[in-house]
Amino acid sequence: MPRDLADVLHHLIPEVGPATDRSENRSARAEIAASAQPQLEPQARGQAHAQPEVQARRVLALPVGERDVVRAAFAWNLAIEMARVGARATVVAPASDRASVLWPGDEVRPLGAEITWVPARNLSELDEKAREIASPRSGAPGPIVLVRVPPRWLRDPGSGAGLLTWTLLLTSSERHDLLEAYGLAKLVSRTAPTAHIGVTVHGARRRGEARQAFSRLAGVASRRLGLTLDSYGLLVDDLQMYQAIVAKRPIGLVHPQSPAARSLRDVAKLLLTDAGIDSDA
């Protein structure tokens, strides 16, 4: 059985180590647990703080752990759904991921969506490579780039803090996952104080449950960190999604009308809208 995440958070999120931080996270955990009712409505994107220029919204950072197959699958499926509605999209991951179980094989490129492996050993190198891939070429805009950021690299960002300008956190509605998302939000905001941080909730049984989970997280982040987290909707974890993950096949192509595929498409459209990209569907 997992222990109290406040006591082990420093193992999961490298920045959280000193006793004062662990004490703060225990308090944050208590606030998340005590928030039985939504305390903060999801902010409309763009209302709470000044936004980066639209051109900067071609690169989306997703902190995803080295063994987090489910969230990596969501990132890959989001790229495919972006392609399904007419956008160019690619996932960028460190070359060390190539032999991992996180991603499908190199030959899998549905609808032109692809995974690009880059020789990055830290956040600075990952930032540089992601920007190169997102850059316009021959007068055509570059693709939207979803970057798998190893959370441990956030501890020593070097010159790569700009990669976090637009960050999406994926969290379930479970309390321990909400606390982990809170820790990542805190770390991202310390590394990149002007970052736009969004949250997508997965694993909720009902939309009301997802809204309440987001409100708990956003309320604690607002009170303790002065952060405004923006809601990027709900990803439904139905059985077909997990079957697609095991088969390493995109849910939007094998079960396009499933609740999971439809919710992924909704989140993809929200992201594309904030990137200033018109979708076809």
Predicted confidence (pLDDT) per residue in 81-129, tens digit: 999 888 989 999 999 998 888 888 665 577 778 899 999 999 999 999 9
- Whether the pLDDT of residue 131 is over 90: the answer is yes
Predicted confidence (pLDDT) per residue in 154-204, tens digit: 989 999 999 999 999 999 999 999 999 999 999 999 999 999 999 999 988
Give the model's pLDDT for residue 243: 87
Give the model's pLDDT for residue 280: 61
Predicted confidence (pLDDT) per residue in 238-256, tens digit: 888 888 888 888 898 888 8
Give the model's pLDDT for residue 268: 95
281 in Cβ contact with 272 (< 8 Å): no
97 in Cβ contact with 148 (< 8 Å): yes
The stretch 132-139 carries a mean pLDDT of: 86
Q: Residue 209 and residue 3: Cα distance in Å, rounded?
A: 24
The residues near 275 (Cβ < 8 Å, ≥ 6 apart) are: 54, 57, 58, 60, 144
Indicate the range of 14-28, 222-236, 255-269 predicted with least confidence: 14-28
For residue 17, what pLDDT band results from cuts at 50, 70 and 90? Answer: very low
Q: Residue 181 and residue 174: Cα distance in Å, rounded?
A: 11
Q: Residue 50 and residue 44: Cα distance in Å, rounded?
A: 13
Predicted confidence (pLDDT) per residue in 33-70, tens digit: 555 443 334 444 433 334 344 345 889 999 999 999 99
CATH 3.40.630.30 fits 6-32+56-274, yes or no: no
- What's the Cα-to-Cα distance from 172 to each of 160, 177, 212, rounded to whole Å? 27, 6, 11
Indicate the range of 21-25, 221-225, 241-245 predicted with least confidence: 21-25
Q: Residue 106 and residue 129: Cα distance in Å, rounded?
A: 19
Q: Residue 25 and residue 175: Cα distance in Å, rounded?
A: 13
Question: Three-class SS of residue 194?
Answer: coil
Give the model's pLDDT for residue 78: 94
pTM given for the model: 0.81
pLDDT, greater one: 8 or 145: 145
Provide the residue ranges of all domains of the chain, joining segments of one domain with +. 6-32+56-274
Give the model's pLDDT for residue 181: 97
> Which DSSP state fits 43?
B
For residue 147, what pLDDT band results from cuts at 50, 70 and 90? Answer: very high
Give the model's pLDDT for residue 205: 80
- Whether the pLDDT of residue 7 is over 50: the answer is no
- What's the Cα-to-Cα distance from 94 to each of 127, 168, 172, 230, 240, rounded to whole Å? 11, 18, 25, 27, 28
